[in-house]
Structure 1
């Protein structure tokens, strides 16, 4: 039997005799061309390529493809674009519907043609289908699953056995928080003995320490994340800050992030309620550490999360977080000590958390410094190296 771990470690060449190892990556991403769920696996893929391991990627076709896919292709990976499910993309407008290849058939063809020795299936959301699983099981190709986010949304009973089989037969199912693992086990109504928690890479220095901003009488919070009401919950900031007590307080929230379909609504709501001096749209920031040189803390009213990188990065930059008890937040934030947790994403509970934070605003700097120390005790300093090693080890076929 081929042993992927020993092949990769053997002079870094990835060979066994004359046969070269190949690792496949299948991403379920469909909401946008690229996102935070894609960072971990793509960085691991680059590291495999650097070690002369072949990589093949199955990813949804986008008219404006993410540059990260081009970077992988340039590094030597083969990229298999799946059809646009809407059939609006130009390759499919020119094809008779009878001749369109189903996603399942496409994935089977990808596996048959590429013959990967190991496959990582990345699910951006817990209800995304583990499409390659049936074919991988049939061909006895080992695979793992990486679930990047989970919510309270329930799996349909008709899909239960298919999902159970996919998860049970995986060598490992990686989650980014214990809360997400618990949610998926509840959805499947089984215990996942093959589950593990991993860290996602972050976009600040491990020893980041931006200067504390001058408040000049005004406290400034950043809300960092794509503008997407369903997941990030920025719409909740409107009924929160339109209350008279918050209008009367010297507090400003700036939203950093691209739109995932809701920026126009956010702009309209800000204008409708006259909140321009309290909520501002700042767009996408290339340098995350620069944000924290001008803001005193994070507010993130998420309805669901996996492990919010905004929280990790905020704490690494020695700032407090005011957020909801979803995803990994409860594992990282100590309520009242390093931040403030709302029990759920409701206006009333967010108001209570923000009010508690406001009463302790004189302590935000020292609380942020404590947050910086705590996050470095609870989160890995090199998530890519850690996950790379786990993928290598999983390829060891017993």
Structure 2
């Protein structure tokens, strides 16, 4: 079977959202199928694809649309997906946000013209991700014709069906963890100084690190002994540095850059802070829970399905900084319970991510599309 995979993620050399299609592709190659992936140039050049190459996988690179290519694409004169079309996949699996298969017009034409199986992996959703009647109508028709749609959380699945006012062929599977831990990490010392960490792209529109900084900017919080390290990379790095200065948190908050080794992060930090506005199911959250760390989160995507309030962490009922601050306050009052909550978080994540996820993913896609 010839399987084509398209990732619509751009601007990063790798992202947690890429782990699912990579897991599926690796499993398919092991089973003797042919797999070609079409990814934006930084991802095509990533070392994360070394094993994929070694197994015989094919990589096609493409670039985001610019002013010129957008015009030629809109007129139907150009498509970035010609290479994959010539490769003649029998099934096409697209991974990314829900509206991109319509908004990228060359991708939309390619998918509509493809006569084989179509499978979609939806990596995150939010209220604003689908907008306008023309977009809803086009996506409804496209997704209804899919062999399978994989959502990484029930929240994302229910939202997508409401946005498109349609029952869709959805399966729910969690994002995989890169390295599965058999035991949580040792607890990092005492809580004389609390060490918060946020792991996520420097992209405040979805990850909302600026709201965390706002919540922690009061005189009361400045009088407490804590630090916050922000791990990641992205377009809003300069803005976040400015926000840190604006709230006078230079001695409390550090931008630490990207760190691939999640165990290295969590051996020195007590609790994970994710005040996201848009999520699928954050891989970074799964990783911190496997390390035995509780979390402060918002009710976004699948994060609140995984984290049980006051058991594995603390779930904010709203996204406003004042409400997030109240959740921080609950966490602070209960900080002596964090080690036992971290132990519960490890067991929760261990149960949530099935050990046979590669097989489940392969059969979910290929029993319907291959």
Please name the residue that 1:127 is paired with: 99
Contact 2:44–2:59 (CA under 8 A) maintained in structure 1: no
Contact 1:204–1:289 (CA under 8 A) maintained in structure 2: no
Please name the residue that 2:138 is paired with: 162
Please name the residue that 1:293 is paired with: 267
**CA shift digits 1:28-56 (9 cap, x unpaired):** 22343431111111232133223332112
Shift of 1:251: 1.5
Mapping for residues 146-295 of structure 1, pairs under 5 Å: 146-153=121-128, 154-192=130-168, 194-215=169-190, 217-258=192-233, 260-295=234-269
Contact 2:38–2:59 (CA under 8 A) maintained in structure 1: yes
Cα distance 1:74–1:206, how it changes in 2: closer, same or farther (>3 A)? closer
Which of 71, 87, 107 does residue 114 from structure 1 map onto? Answer: 87
Aligned partners of 1:99, 1:393: CA distance in 2, in Å? 34
Contact 2:119–2:369 (CA under 8 A) maintained in structure 1: no
Cα distance 1:22–1:268, how it changes in 2: closer, same or farther (>3 A)? same
Contact 2:296–2:315 (CA under 8 A) maintained in structure 1: yes
Name the Cα RMSD after superposition. Answer: 2.6
Contact 2:151–2:173 (CA under 8 A) maintained in structure 1: yes
Mapping for residues 333-344 of structure 1, pairs under 5 Å: 333-344=307-318
Contact 1:233–1:345 (CA under 8 A) maintained in structure 2: no
Please name the residue that 2:38 is paired with: 58
Shift of 1:102: 5.4
Contact 2:309–2:315 (CA under 8 A) maintained in structure 1: yes
Q: Which 4+ residue blocks in structure 1 deviate beyond 6 angstroms?
A: 97-101
Shift of 1:362: 1.0
Cα distance 1:48–1:310, how it changes in 2: closer, same or farther (>3 A)? same
Larger CA Rg, structure 1 vs 2: 1
Aligned partners of 1:167, 1:69: CA distance in 2, in Å? 28
Shift of 1:248: 0.6
Shift of 1:139: 4.7
Aligned partners of 1:385, 1:365: CA distance in 2, in Å? 34
Aligned partners of 1:66, 1:139: CA distance in 2, in Å? 28
Shift of 1:73: 4.4
Shift of 1:271: 2.5
Shift of 1:135: 4.7
Shift of 1:331: 1.2
Contact 1:136–1:142 (CA under 8 A) maintained in structure 2: no
Aligned partners of 2:112, 2:259: CA distance in 1, in Å? 42
Shift of 1:103: 8.5
Please name the residue that 2:319 is paired with: 345
Which of 357, 363, 366 does residue 340 from structure 2 map onto? Answer: 366
Mapping for residues 307-326 of structure 1, pairs under 5 Å: 307-326=281-300
TM-score when scaled to structure 1?
0.84
Aligned partners of 2:331, 2:284: CA distance in 1, in Å? 18
Aligned partners of 1:374, 1:117: CA distance in 2, in Å? 38
After alignment, is 143-152 or 75-84 more displaced? 75-84
Matched, 1:86 2:60: no
Mapping for residues 16-31 of structure 1, pairs under 5 Å: 21-31=1-11
After alignment, is 331-340 or 31-40 more displaced? 31-40
